[in-house]
Every structure is written in C-alpha cells, then in structure tokens.
Structure 1
Amino acid sequence: MKCAVHTEGASLIHFTQMAMETDTVSRPRIWAVGISRLRELFIDIAGAYADRAELDVVPLGFEDAASSIESAYDDRPDVVVAGGSNGAYLKSRVSVPVVVISPTGFDVMHALTKARREGASVALVTHGDTPGEIRRFLAAYGIDMICESYRSAQDAESLVLDLRDRGVDVVVGPGLVADLAADAGMSSVFLYSRTSVVAAFETALEVAQAMRREVARRNRLDNLLQHLRDGVVAVDAGGRIEAVNRRLAAALGIADASRAVGRALLDVAPELDGVLPDADGDVFGTVRGVSYAIHRGPLAGDGASGGTIFTFQESRAVERLDRSLRSRQGAQEFVARYRLEDVVGESESMERVRALVRRYAKSDATVLILGESGTGKEMVAQSMHRLSRRKDFPFVAMNCGAFPEALLESELFGYEEGAFTGARKGGKAGLIEAAHRGTLFLDEIGEMPPALQSRLLRVLQEREVIRLGSTEPTRVDIRVIAATHRTLAAGVADGSFRADLFYRINILSIALPPLRARSNDILPLATDLLMRAAKRERALATRVRSRDVAAQILTPLAHALQRYPWPGNVRELQNIMERIAVEITDLDVENGRPVALTLDELKGIAPEIFEAESQANVARSLRDLGRSVEADQVRASLAAFGGDREAVCKALGISKTTLWRRLNPKR
C-alpha cells in the first residue's frame, strides 16, 4: 500500500505496505484535496483503496490546490475529490474532473443529534443553498434550527462570526466551517462522515475508470488514424482540430501534430482556405503543389453539429489504385455480360441460332461457333454460358490470334516461378485454370500455333493443365467453346490445324449467318444498337428516349442499310450507329422538336453505304440499257424478215423463249 500525503512545503509523507508496492501506474490516480478534519478522514480511508487506486492526499485548498493540480504533469491526477466550497472552487478552475463530497441524509441527522447534545442553539451551515430535503425534514419534526449557507471562504468566516454574535452554541458544517467555529470559541460538529467520503471515492473511481477506458479507446483510434495511408483531420463544430494524423501534418508542414489539437484548422493551415469542400462529398484540390481528392463527412454520424472529418488522398494514389483494380478485374473477374436476349434478329436463321444456344447450354460438350468476323460469336458464347449450370462461375475469353506463340502459351497455361526470364515471383495461373468450374472461350482458334494445339488437345482430353516449368498437372473442370472465321476442314487438309483437335472441338456446332444474309434484321438491329449507344450517353438518352424515336431517325437510311453488303457484319453496323449517336448528341434541336437527320447529313456520316448503293444503281441502269438495246435489235430483225420469228431466231442463234424475253425486258 502506498499513500502519499502532500504538505504545504511540497514534501511527501509515505505510508508503505510492501505487498501493494506494484503496478501503481496502471491504476487510476486520485487526489483527495482537503485540509484539517477532511484531510484526516482522507488519510484514515486511503489505506482501503491502495489496491484499487494510487491515492494522494493533498492538504491544500482553493488557489493553492488548483495551482498544484494544473502544474502536475507526470503524476497528474485522473480525478480530484474535494468537499464543499473547495470542491466548487476547483470544479471551475482545473481541467480534470472534480467529485464534490455530498453529505448524506444520515450524515445530517447524526450531526444534528450530536449538536443537540452539546448546545441549545444549533446552526447548520452548508456550502451553497441548504438542500430542500433538509429544510423539509426539520419542518416535519418541528426542529428549531438555524440554516445558513456560504459561497466562499470569506463568506464562511463572516457567517461563523455572525452566528457567534447571535448566540449560537454549536455549528454543524464542513471542515472549513467547523474549524472556523472552533477558532471563534464555539462548539462544532463535522458534517462529513466516513460513509459520504467513501461514496465520493467510489464515484471518483468510476469516473477515473471510465476516463481511462475512453483514453484507451481514443489511443486505439489515434493509433489507427496514424497508420492510415491517407491524410485525416477531424474538427469540431467550431472548426477546431480534434485529431490529425502524421501523414496530413507532414503534408501541411505541421511540425508537432499534438500541439495543433484545439487550434482552428484554418489558422494552422491557412492554405486550406477555399480548398475544403463546403458540403459532404468529394472535391479535388491542390495543397502545397500536390493534388488531392478531398472527402468531407460528418464526425461520428452527428452531422455538422457534431463536427467534421476530412480525408486527403493523393490523386496519384487514386490513379494507381484505379490501374491496379482494372488490372485485377481484367485478370480475375471474368464475367459474361451478354444474354440471349441481346442477340437481335427475327429471321429464321437467327431463330435457329437461339434455339441451338438454349439446347447446347444444357450440355457440357465442346461447342464450335462458325461465322465471319463481326457476326457476334463471343456474344453467342456468353449467352450460352449464362444459360448453363456454370453461370455462377467464370467466363474466360482468349483470342488465340492476338498474342505471339510464347506469350499465348504462358497466358493460357500459366507458369511457375523461374520458368523464364521475367516470370512473376510465385508464378501465375493461366486462363485455363482461371476458368475452373466455368467456361473457357477460345476465339479464333484457327489461328492457334500448331505447337500449342497438341497441348490444348491434352487439356480437352484429360481435363488437366501443366504450367510452364512444372511437372505437376492441375485438374480443371471447364466447358470449352471455340470460335473461328476460318474453314477448319481446309486447315486440316493443308496441315495447319490438327485433325484430332478439330474432331475434339467440333462436337456441337453453331453457324452464324452474315448480316447480308438476313437483310430483314438489319433495321431492327441498327435500332437496337442506336438505343444502346443512347443509354451510355446522358445527353443522347434524353433525345433518343424510345425505339420508335431511334427507328424514326434511321428511316431515311433504311433502304441503303438493307442494300449494303456489310463486309464487317454487325461490328461494322455498330460502328456506323456510334457515328450517328455522336452526331445526334451535338445536333442543335429546338425544344420539343423531334430529333432528325437529313439524308445529306446521313450521307456525310456513312458515305460508304451510299457509295455502295450508287454503284448498285449504276450497274442496274447499265443492265436496263443493254436490255433496251437488245429489244430494239430484235424488233429491227423482225421487220427485216417480215415478222417471221423462226427466221429471226435462226439468224440470231437464239430460242423462241429468248426472243420473247428480249422483246419484253421489263417482265
């Protein structure tokens, strides 16, 4: 047990019990401030709290006590316990919590009973107003007693002298009043009991423990704050700093972050004036030559009245994070975006394609999709994946013609650490492994180098893959969909494509018709593509609000669209719709008027379509002219032979049917 008594000369008197001489730092520190009788009571009780608190008795009062408390640094108390006017004085002058001892009803009754035995005239003197319950108690029991109160030590001294002059025999009050009464030659009864002081100590312990828990919580939060990679500052409703981490302090040139607490943020960092957002949300700003994304939000969810928290994230870090996320999404988050409903077309050939997709989605057999470039082979593959039992797993697409052989091999099959110069530490899983339990789409499989065709064949046969530099196979559960614009049978014939691989992938097949073979689908498809472009641009979405509006815009182009041969198929049609979307976005349209493009404007947007149509018209005109000339020749021959058709047929070397057709070229 350790009980320290502070005396006027700042010396200490120690009462030590060796069993308790440990771990005083972790226990709450309480200062019991009092003089005279209250000090003696503190010392008497202190021993009982040695194992629960580091308790110091400070025999000082008022200004001396306040000065001692505020000047203490290393041994600063968590809570102060004091009585009466001393406690009230300290409450308003020190920065630590003060628990004021309050006499209980039992204390008052016991003191008054004792005072009655010592004198006929008794006065009860309390700090502040006399509690109403005491007055009611005295009135209820018909006790004739003087009740007085004081505000300061000077008031107490004057009051005691006045009571003496009024013939009071006994004064009941706190230690200060009791001592003044004794000095004035009067009897006195000390108001505070052991019970009331113990109650004050218990309250002080609860306050100290709560404060320490709050300090520990704040320290944990501050530790978290200091380890954040972004700069953070929290301010109260008045704009004063409550907390700031080292990263932001360094960015703002604040040498000591702890000394900035309590000061106005804009006083500490005037360069933030005009940079901070005025409302909750994000803005970009430059501070000391560095660009930041600055976020403002409420502190502790209490809105502006509870304070505000600002976070500063360097724009370069945001850009790096964005690149990293894009890289991870491109490498790991393989998702099929298209559904079967996105495959537009009402022609018989497209209905057959959709029927096959639905049927093949139920199977795990390998599918080969055939079609010219731009016919939507990957869209069909994604649609099939989304209808299959593997829809909740990855859809991994790989263009076999887009990489050189060495890179294609590492991307497809993966590699072990050290497999080749520049190999990533720890190795890397290939796309085949990434597609585990999902679908692997091999686009342009006809472009795959022969050396890799044999490795792929093993994957399809054994459902296992061996990384570059490894000898251990990894089992994979994948469904393979391949696509090509080439005739693989011709590749098998000329030796550029393995026959065994061809038969392995050509289990189920879907042939996609070129766009020119389904001319009736061109206008609905163009309308759908224009609507998709409109959804991506807000300004365009307000102008192209429905399919009817999109169809109306394309009406002048309808004939040219259907006659164009579309060598680039749907991809080429999509490009032209994107051009039209850009023109519509920039089009100056009066409010309320429908969006429309003139034929000349459309010719400027897609000249190749109209050039093809013009060439077709020229060819048709030449054919018509030739037929007209032939008819004139036949009529001239008939006139020369007197209308004898057989003689004319023999002379011209044609049949009677041909003769009739040349005479009627428009039929």
Structure 2
Amino acid sequence: MNRPPDTRPRPRIWAIGISKLRDLFRDIAGEYDSRAELRLVSRGYEDAVTEIAAAGAQRPDIVVAAGSNGTYLKARIQVPVVLVHPTGFDVMHALARARRDASPVALVTHGETPAEVRRFVAAYGIDVVFASYQSAQDAEVCVLDLRDRGIGTIVGPGLVTDLAARAGMAAVFLYSRASVRAAFDTALDVAQATSSEALRRQRLDNVLQHLRDGVVALDAQGRVEAINQQLALALGIDAATAVGQALLAVAPDLAGAIPDADGETLQTVRGVGYVVHRGPLVGAGPDTATGSVLTFHESRAVERLDRTLRSRQRTQQFVARYRLDDLVGECAAIERVRQLAQRYAKSEATVLILGESGTGKEMVAQGIHRISARRDFPFVAINCGAFPEALLESELFGYEEGAFTGARRGGKAGLIEAAHRGTLFLDEIGEMPLPLQSRLLRVLQEREVVRLGSTEPTRIDIRVVAATHRALTAAVDAGVFRADLYYRLNILNLVLPPLRERVSDVMPLAAELLRQAARREPRLTARIRTREDAARVLALVGEPLRQHAWPGNVRELQNVIERIAVELADSNPAHDDAASVPELTRDVLHSIAPEVFGHAQQVAAALTLRQRSRRVEAEQVQAALDACGGDRDEACRALGISKTTLWRKLNGGR
C-alpha cells in the first residue's frame, strides 16, 4: 500500500554537547538529514540557554543533551529535552575497555548510579568504584578525589573524561552510537507527538474562535488553558497573554460571576447580561475532570434565538392537547355531546359548536380532531374576535412579499395554509368582520386560498370546525353575518350546555380542576393526589358551589378552584381535613356567591349540633357518590359502608 508523502515540516532538533559527545553527534548526524533539521551546538549550560532564547521563532522543537548539561537545560528552557542514557551494553563495553589496564577503575555518572548498573557489576564480579556528581564543579572535585584515592581509569560522560585526562588519568567515554541513536529516535517521536498535539490545539482554538459565545478553558488551579477572542474582547483582555495566568487575575470583573459548581447562572459582567454555564474539562479518563469550561451566552442573543425558534417551531405548536375524555361530566347533555362528537369525528363535514363562553368549545374541537382521520396533521386554532380586521386577514390568508408596508421578506403562509391536511378551528366565528366572511366562504366552497397581494390560488385540504357564543340566526337577521356562510358552517352542529344546567357535574368538575391545580402546586401534591382526595377536601363547600349560577361557566369555576388551591397551599399541611376548607375559602366563595354563601351560613347557624353533623355526613357521602360517577356500589366500597347505610345517610338519617 503506497502511503501519501508526509507534507509536515521536519522537526528542528538541536543536539547540544561538548567534547566527545559533540563528536559522536557529528558522526551520526547525517543519518537523520531526511527526517529532521539537525543542528549541532557546541555549548553547554547557560551559554546553551542563551543561544536557544536568541533563536526566537527558529528555536528548536526538541533538544538532545546528556548528563548534567541536559539536566541543567531541562530546568531552564521551555523546549522538551531528551537525555542520552547509556545502555547496559554501553556500561559493559566501557568497563571492559577500562579493565585492560591493571589500574583501579571508577564509574562516574551524573546523579545516583542506577541500581541496575550496580547489580550488573556485582553479578559479573567486577571491581569498580562508583561515584556521582550533580554539576560541573562537583564533577571536577569528584575526579580529583578519585585520583587521590589511587583510581587510575575513569569511565563516564564527556565532561568527566575530559577532567580525568587533564588530571593525568586514563578515561573511557561511556556513551555509544546506539545510545545516541536511541535518544534521536525518542526526540523524533516526541516531536511528532508534540506536533500532533499542537495541531489538535490549533484546530480546537480555531473552533473556539469561530464560536459566537465566549468560551474559556481553565485548569484545576483556575489558570487559562484556552480562551477565544469573543470572550477576550468582552473582558477587555489580550487572549494570548491570558493563557497560563489565573483567570480572575487577568479579568477581575468576573469575580462572583463564575458558578461555584457545574450548572448555569445569570450574571452581569461589565454591564452586559450573560447566561454563564460551567462544565467539567475531562482529562484522560471519561470520569476524570482536570479543570472546567466556562461558556458565556449573551442574554440578549439567547432571547433573540428564543424568539426565532418560537417562530420557526410554529408548525410544531399546531397540535391538539385535549381529548374527549377530558370533558368531565356525567349528565345526559354532556353524554350526548360526547356521542355526537365521536360520530362527527368520522365525517369530513364542517362542524359548528355553539355554547356560552367558558363551556369548553375548543376542548370539544380538539377532541374531535384527536380521534379523526386527520389526527396526525395540524390542529390550527384562531380566535376571530382577537385581531383587528387587517391583521386577521393577513393571519388567515397569508401574504406575498411587498403586499403591504412591513410585509415580511419572502411573504408568509397564512393559518389556513398551515392547517393543510389537518383541522382549522375558527373560534368566535360570529365576531368575524363581514368583508372577510365572503373570502372565508370561498375557501370553504373551493378549498383554495389566495394570499394578499397574489393572484394565484393555493389548493388546500382542511376540515373546518367553527365555534361561537352568539346566536348566528339573529346575527343573520341583523345583517352582520352572511346567511350563505352560516349555512355552509351549520352542517353538523353541537350545543354545549352551560354549567348552571348541569349542576350534578359541578362537584366532579371542581374535584378534577382541584386535582390539576394540585399537580402544579408542589405544596399540595402530597395532600391531593386523586380526584377522590379533591372531592373530600371540597365536600363542605359543595352547597355554595352547586347553587352558584356560574355565568362564566367552567372557566369561572376553574378560576375559583385555582384561588381555593392557593388558599389551601398557604394553610397548615397538618389540617388537611375538609373541616378546614370553609375557613380557608370564605372570601373566595363570598366573592362569587355572597347571597348563597351567606344563606348557607345562616342555615348552618340555626341547626343543632346533631343536625349539623348529619348534614356534613350527607354532603360527604354525596361528594363521594359524585366522585364515583353515581355508582353506588363503588361509593360504598370507597366509604366502607353498606348500601342501606348509604341510602340512610343521604337522606339525613343515622
């Protein structure tokens, strides 16, 4: 398999050595010409440090050195240093050469003599004196001390052998070509790894710089590892100089703005609001965090994005949430509504739903859609009385670009088009202006819509469900509603009864609404879990709730129950019995039916203690019966009483 040529630049390797090591470097340098830019430097210690610093942008990628010189450089330059280490063969071969003379031999190494070297010498029974040094001055003292002790031959690095020669002693150089080659090969591997890491960091930095949000990566001590220009500009700092420094030292404005733990917080930095997110900076292992990553989202940008997403996801919001089963009630009128709705759902004909405000007309419309053949497509609802005429026209029919001042570039599809293959629900159709009624009539007849400013019709496939609280026949007689549109809408019709005509459903409805309110209120969740729990809580206020006329129908009842839920949530959780409800809801019930509530209080005050007790029991039994949908067997099981006892208590007996 032919590999593509390596186009990466050759790494710059400086081989720093003096004396014999320098000569060894020179002997094998030619072997690496094709793989590295190899430079031989005949300097050591501080002179080598100075030369590396002076190289600037041409400084080496890797330095190869040995002994004390290499250790010195390692601690003083920011470039990786690879040390030349003698191999076991080097030691054996050097000691063998040194023993050709009869004089005593010493092995001198930089730092402590490796334990494996000592074991090797002991294994072969070689008589060797071990010595070590830390610096050039130590090496000179060490050599002179060995000479005074009668050592005739020294084995060691180039610095030591030069000192031994000057002291009149025999010297054997410790390093070999093999050990130098091994150091050069290691240097090439390190250079390749460093280059790959640099490339990875460069790519990461490139990604960071293209992010619109501010991002900074910190190590475990809070020092900057990487920061993008977006955040640096916002903080008024230089990104390059910030790397390696503590973030709070270079950006004191962030004091108090950084979350203490992983998560998000809303903060103000230099007068600008940000959503600041903190997350872990993962290390080598998936569960190893070596620092943290901070992301700064400008709050205004988040708000703009939210508005954009809401507009783009508009079609996803065209869904029906309610089912026919959500229509609570067991009276004959509501049962009739359910049966008709299920029957109408099988048809494609237009449905007209009549009923007072708050009776649940949209709930029924959504329920019809949910069980119709169009249930997988949009349910688009619009209130015809909630928009000015001009705005309602553009919302319903859409418009072309330039149709009017302020029209969106590219135009906009109307809600009728958005309902394609689904259901269009026209709430409060009786409020639609006359000029738009004729346009809607054409849509219903021809199943096509023409946008404002366009002459080309768009074919649509929709099912129309309309609703109104008005008497449309009277509106037709008054000339404010087109007769032909009325006949087109009134193909199938449903009439929802007002709440005052379904008194038996008030308490079940109230119990269900209280259960729903409790689910939204954490303080009530444990106290009211089921409809039966809610019915028991509301038992003692059943009479005022049943006697009120409810002109606002279910919507008014829902508002009252919400207020009762607030009162209950603020009450002592220990008093969760029904007896606590009248006190908690006195003002609420007075506000909806003062005459009914006041009368109930007068009646209660006139009763004896025994009569009051019987009355309370009867109301509780009735509430349980209502909660069980009138099923007496189920109510008896819930209350733990017989049917005879149930009948007696309902009639006020003991």
**TM-score bracket for this pair, using the shorter chain length:** 0.7 to 0.9
Which amino acid letter does the alignment assign opposite residue 535 of structure 1?
Answer: R
Measure, in 2, the Cα distance between the counterparts of 1:214 and 1:156.
38
Which amino acid letter does the alignment assign opposite residue 402 of structure 1?
Answer: A
Which amino acid letter does the alignment assign opposite residue 391 of structure 2?
Answer: L
Q: Corresponding residue for 1:183?
A: 166
Relative to structure 1, the CA distance from residue 591 to residue 614 in structure 2 (aligned partners, 3 Å threshold; closer, same or farther) is closer
Q: Corresponding residue for 2:531?
A: 547
TM superposition shift of 1:507: 4.6
- Aligned identity (percent) is 66
Residues 295-444 of structure 1 aligned to structure 2 (within 5 Å): 295-300=277-282, 306-328=290-312, 333-444=317-428
Q: Is the 8 A contact 1:107 1:191 kept in 2?
A: yes
Measure, in 2, the Cα distance between the counterparts of 1:475 and 1:168.
108
Q: Is the 8 A contact 1:557 1:602 kept in 2?
A: no
Q: Corresponding residue for 1:197?
A: 180
Measure, in 2, the Cα distance between the counterparts of 1:56 and 1:510.
95
Q: Corresponding residue for 1:277?
A: 259
Measure, in 1, the Cα distance between the counterparts of 2:588 and 2:104.
116
Which amino acid letter does the alignment assign opposite residue 537 of structure 1?
Answer: E
Q: Is the 8 A contact 2:563 2:588 kept in 1?
A: no
Q: Corresponding residue for 2:41?
A: 58
Relative to structure 1, the CA distance from residue 572 to residue 123 in structure 2 (aligned partners, 3 Å threshold; closer, same or farther) is same
Greater Cα shift, 157-166 or 53-62 = 157-166
TM superposition shift of 1:173: 2.7
Which amino acid letter does the alignment assign opposite residue 415 of structure 2?
Answer: L
Residues 615-654 of structure 1 aligned to structure 2 (within 5 Å): none
Measure, in 1, the Cα distance between the counterparts of 2:477 and 2:162.
121
Q: Is the 8 A contact 2:272 2:298 kept in 1?
A: yes
Q: Corresponding residue for 1:523?
A: 507
TM superposition shift of 1:119: 6.8
Relative to structure 1, the CA distance from residue 121 to residue 518 in structure 2 (aligned partners, 3 Å threshold; closer, same or farther) is same
Measure, in 2, the Cα distance between the counterparts of 1:477 and 1:27.
68
Residues 94-493 of structure 1 aligned to structure 2 (within 5 Å): 94-116=77-99, 122-165=105-148, 168=151, 170-254=153-237, 256-300=238-282, 306-328=290-312, 333-460=317-444, 463-488=447-472
Q: Corresponding residue for 1:621?
A: none
TM superposition shift of 1:131: 3.1
**Which of 545, 561, 569 is residue 577 of structure 1 equivalent to?**
561
TM superposition shift of 1:344: 0.9
Greater Cα shift, 496-505 or 209-218 = 496-505
Structure 2 alignment gaps of length 5 or more? 601-654
Q: Corresponding residue for 1:91?
A: 74
Matched residue SS, 1:429: coil
Q: Is the 8 A contact 1:564 1:613 kept in 2?
A: no
Matched residue SS, 1:426: coil
Measure, in 2, the Cα distance between the counterparts of 1:108 and 1:96.
29
Measure, in 1, the Cα distance between the counterparts of 2:375 and 2:70.
73
Measure, in 1, the Cα distance between the counterparts of 2:90 and 2:461.
84
Measure, in 1, the Cα distance between the counterparts of 2:347 and 2:18.
94
**Which of 56, 60, 85 is residue 77 of structure 1 equivalent to?**
60
User: Which structure 1 residue ranges, 4+ long, deviate > 6 Å from structure 2?
Assistant: 301-305, 612-616
Measure, in 1, the Cα distance between the counterparts of 2:67 and 2:496.
96
Measure, in 2, the Cα distance between the counterparts of 1:221 and 1:557.
67
Measure, in 1, the Cα distance between the counterparts of 2:464 and 2:40.
84
Greater Cα shift, 219-228 or 517-526 = 219-228
Which amino acid letter does the alignment assign opposite residue 220 of structure 2?
Answer: A
Which amino acid letter does the alignment assign opposite residue 522 of structure 1?
Answer: V
Which amino acid letter does the alignment assign opposite residue 195 of structure 1?
Answer: A
TM superposition shift of 1:244: 3.6
Tell me how many residue pairs correspond in the alignment.
Answer: 594
Q: Is the 8 A contact 1:49 1:55 kept in 2?
A: yes
Q: Is the 8 A contact 1:433 1:465 kept in 2?
A: yes
Which amino acid letter does the alignment assign opposite residue 160 of structure 1?
Answer: V
For each residue in 1:611-651, what CA deviation from the matched residue of structure 2 results, as whole angstroms up to 9, or x when unmatched?
Answer: 478899xxxxxxxxxxxxxxxxxxxxxxxxxxxxxxxxxxx
Task: Name the larger-Rg structure.
Answer: 1
Q: Is the 8 A contact 1:32 1:55 kept in 2?
A: yes
Q: Is the 8 A contact 1:70 1:95 kept in 2?
A: no
Q: Is the 8 A contact 2:395 2:414 kept in 1?
A: yes
Measure, in 2, the Cα distance between the counterparts of 1:328 and 1:599.
49
Relative to structure 1, the CA distance from residue 365 to residue 42 in structure 2 (aligned partners, 3 Å threshold; closer, same or farther) is farther
Relative to structure 1, the CA distance from residue 130 to residue 540 in structure 2 (aligned partners, 3 Å threshold; closer, same or farther) is same
Q: Is the 8 A contact 1:332 1:434 kept in 2?
A: no
Q: Is the 8 A contact 1:361 1:385 kept in 2?
A: yes
Aligned residues: CA RMSD? 3.7
**What is the TM-score normalised by the length of structure 1?**
0.78
Measure, in 2, the Cα distance between the counterparts of 1:78 and 1:435.
66
Which amino acid letter does the alignment assign opposite residue 337 of structure 1?
Answer: R
**What is the TM-score normalised by the length of structure 2?**
0.79
Matched residue SS, 2:15: strand
Structure 1 alignment gaps of length 5 or more? 1-19, 617-667
Q: Corresponding residue for 1:653?
A: none
